[in-house]
Amino acid sequence: MISVENIGEVRGFRLARSILGRAMYYTAAYWVDGLMVDTGCFHSVTDLVSALEELRVDRVVNTHSHEDHIGANAAISTKFGAEILAHPLAIPVLATPQKQKHLNPYQIVMWGYPEPSSASPIPETIETVHHRFNVLPTPGHSPDHICLHEPREGWLFCGDTYIGGRDRALRADYNVWQIIASLRRLSELPIDLIFTGSGNVRTNGSAALKEKVAYLESIGEQIFELHRKGLSYREIRRKLFGRELLIAYVTLGHFTGKHLVRSFIEDRPLSLESDK
């Protein structure tokens, strides 16, 4: 399943596996000036390649190596001769996804294992005919995460660094403190439009980033206050967020509110330990 939207010069593709006519979970890819940012999941390869038929694709940039962002790398590289660029930590994963990454059942159903693809280390800047993008390391969602910022246009292609809404759960392998640090750095930049990994486009980008940082910092303060009172991770989660979300059960405990609480407490940087 695919939907296509033009946002000025940028063409956005929202992609998902369809079961019984319903999209299971949307991810996104973007095209601008011959550059692809991410390529969706394996289950949507045919839809995306078909939608790119009349476009020129010179390069692909992967914001990170998660399976829902690299699915059509191989097909696009083969069809268009496009170069693939990624963070150095992502390159081995792209080359042998099934050996490097264990996917849980929900990940296989929704996104599937990508075909192997060959990538080169991404430089500090990416230039197209009409644009120049700064490459920004933004770990937290994954160690190999990067964003692309076009300062003249105020564009941020953020992958999964910025996810809208008020987080009530976290995946087991995310680091919430690194996420906050990455969001804070991005919030200091001139950003108008945020092109997110789910396909939503957020206006007033810098303000949205600051709002997300403030929310996460507030939640962190509340978690530490309850932790100092001796509440367990589960008790803190129930007090702040209520019952676990449906995603906790769909992912068999891989994505839960308890993991959000745990990351705030256990992943806290040493530089902040004196604040306990």
DSSP the chain: -EEEEEETTEEEEEE--EETTEES--EEEEEETTEEE----GGGHHHHHHHTTTS---EEE-S---TTTSTTHHHHHHHH--EEEE-TTTHHHHHSHHHH-PPPHHHHHHT-PPPP---EE--SEEE-SS-EEEEEE--SS-TT-EEEEETTTTEEEEETS---S----EETT--HHHHHHHHHHHHTS--SEEEETTS-EESSHHHHHHHHHHHHHHHHHHHHHHHHTT--HHHHHHHHH-SPPHHHHHTTTSEEHHHHHHHHHHS--GGGGGG-
Give residue-wise pLDDT tens across range 48-89: 999 999 999 999 999 999 999 999 999 999 999 999 999 999
Residue percentage of the chain with pLDDT more than 90: 90
Residue 273 has what pLDDT?
A: 60
Greatest Cα-to-Cα distance within the chain, rounded to the nearest angstrom? 61
pLDDT tens for 160-175 read: 999 988 999 999 999 9
User: Which residues sit opposite 183 in a β-bridge?
Assistant: none
Where is pLDDT greater, at 164 or 118? 118
The whole-number pLDDT of residue 19 equals 79
Q: Is 84 exposed, middle or buried (0-12, 13-18, 19+ CB in 10 A)?
A: buried
pLDDT band for position 21 (cuts 50, 70, 90): confident
- Tell me the domains of the chain and their CATH numbers: 1-122 (3.60.15.10), 130-192+203-276 (3.60.15.10)
Cβ partners under 8 Å of residue 221, min gap 6: none
Structure confidence at residue 275 (pLDDT)? 52
Q: Report residue 18's pLDDT band, with 50, 70 and 90 as the boundaries.
A: confident
Among 131, 39, 152, residue whose Cα is nearest residue 85 = 39
Cα 54 to the center of its chain, rounded Å? 27
Q: State the pairing for strand pair 120-121/125-127.
A: unpaired
258 pLDDT higher than 70: yes
Structure tokens at 218: 């507030």
Q: What is the pLDDT of residues 219-257, one digit of tens each?
A: 999 999 999 999 999 999 999 999 999 999 999 999 999
Angle at 129 between CA 68 and CA 144, to 5 degrees: 30
- pLDDT for 263-273, tens place per residue? 999 999 976 66
What confidence category does residue 20 fall into, taking pLDDT thresholds of 50, 70 and 90? confident
Percent of the chain residues topping a pLDDT of 70:
98
Model confidence at 25: pLDDT above 70: yes
pLDDT of residue 24: 75
How far is it, in rounded angstroms, from Cα 161 to Cα 134? Answer: 16
Q: Does pLDDT of 274 surpass 90?
A: no
Mean pLDDT score of the chain: 95
Please write the tens of the pLDDT for every residue from 189-222.
999 999 999 999 999 999 999 999 999 999 999 9
Instruction: Give the confidence band of 36 by pLDDT, cuts at 50, 70, 90.
Output: very high
